Amino acid sequence: MRVAILASGRGSNFQSIIDASNKNKLPNCNIVLLIVNKKEAYAVERAKKHNIAYKIIESKNKKREDFDHQILEVLAKNKIEIVVLAGFMRILSKHFITKYKNRIINIHPSLLPKYKGLNTHQRAIENKDKYSGCTVHFVNAKLDSGKIILQKKVNILK
């Protein structure tokens, strides 16, 4: 499958996906494109290192629909089948989600449905949770509410 990764920052999740793909842990996964919404995103350096095409489409001062339209054009040109949100700090429009229905996967840093949205680690610590984790889920129109694919739990140490 032709996969595009959307990221906003360092790209640590992007790197993990690259590593898993290189170890044949993601059969039929062909990472063909990285899209970042911040020009300073370090994820671009990771794409360069691994010879993965990348596109910088800045989101600052853009309406969500306009920004998403630009991304959708790039995805169509590259014949992308699956979109993975890996540290992508933008909410997608309903139109985008409909266009890629059941083909957008998000990596979220909490055990959903607990701690949807931002600042998940801080909220878990403030609430004195004993564990937290990560959820991989399909994206739907409600924030961090799509069908869960996989969850992993980790202890929160003092």
Selected catalytic residue, list 69, 108, 121, 137: 108
Determine whether 108 is an active site residue: yes
The pLDDT profile of the chain, 158 residues, written as one tens digit per residue, is 999 999 999 999 999 999 999 999 998 999 999 999 999 999 999 999 999 999 999 998 889 999 999 999 999 999 999 999 999 999 999 999 999 999 999 999 999 999 999 999 999 999 999 999 999 999 999 999 999 999 999 999 98
pLDDT computed for residue 158 by the predictor: 85
The pTM of this model reads: 0.93
* DSSP conformation letters of the chain: -EEEEEESSS-HHHHHHHHHHHTT-STT-EEEEEEESSTT-THHHHHHHTT-EEEE---TT--HHHHHHHHHHHHHHTT--EEEEES--SPPPHHHHHHTTT-EEEEESS-TTSS-SS-HHHHHHHTT-SEEEEEEEE--SSTT-SPEEEEEEEE---
